[in-house]
Amino acid sequence: MSPALTTAAVLYLGIVALVAVGALLGLPLRPAARTGQVTGYLLTLVVVGADVVSLVTGQRPADLPTHLAYAATAVALPLLAMRLSGQDEGADDRVDLVLVAASSIVGAVVLARLAQTWG
């Protein structure tokens, strides 16, 4: 697992959350928040992919079940948030932006915890 890659992903997700909050406050940043959400998910997939490579090559974290739960959450949570946001064209944009901000914050925490399970 690459600490630098994980740190970059955590920081990026934090920036996406800030952009979503800015959009909530009325700044014209909704498209940037949505694009950032997708890009953050792709970056999360890269981090989890590097993690899987580490596991396959024989490295093991101290608590493997917890580690695998964090990895699964890191992959599943953004998918759920993207699925829930933007479903209804007539829906309030604020709900979508709250989902983007919340999933980005939680995603950053989950990736940080995933890295911490390596010890």
Q: Which residues of 79-112 are buried (b: 16+ CB within 10 A; e: fewer)?
A: eebbeebbeeeeeeeeebbbbbbebbbbbbbbbe
Name the residue type at position 42: L
Q: Residue 62's domain spans which residues?
A: 3-116
Count CB atoms within 10 A of the CB of residue 24: 18
Q: How far apart are the first and last CA of the chain?
A: 11
Q: What is the pLDDT of residue 86?
A: 64
Q: In whole angstroms, what is the distance from residue 49 CA to residue 55 CA?
A: 10
Query: How many domains, in total, are found in the chain?
Result: 1
Q: What is the pLDDT of residue 94?
A: 87
Q: In whole angstroms, what is the distance from residue 25 CA to residue 19 CA?
A: 10
What does the pLDDT profile of the chain (119 residues) look like in tens digits?
Answer: 789 999 999 999 999 999 999 999 999 999 999 999 999 999 999 999 999 999 999 999 989 999 999 999 999 999 888 888 765 555 668 888 999 999 999 999 999 999 999 87
Q: What is the pLDDT of residue 12?
A: 98
Minimal CA–CA distance to 106: which of 95, 114, 118? 114
Q: What is the pLDDT of residue 92?
A: 67
Contact 8, 72 (CB under 8 A): no
Q: In whole angstroms, what is the distance from residue 53 CA to residue 37 CA?
A: 24
- Residue ranges of alpha helices (H) inside the chain are 3-24, 30-56, 64-84, 93-116
pTM: 0.91
Q: What is the pLDDT of residue 88?
A: 56
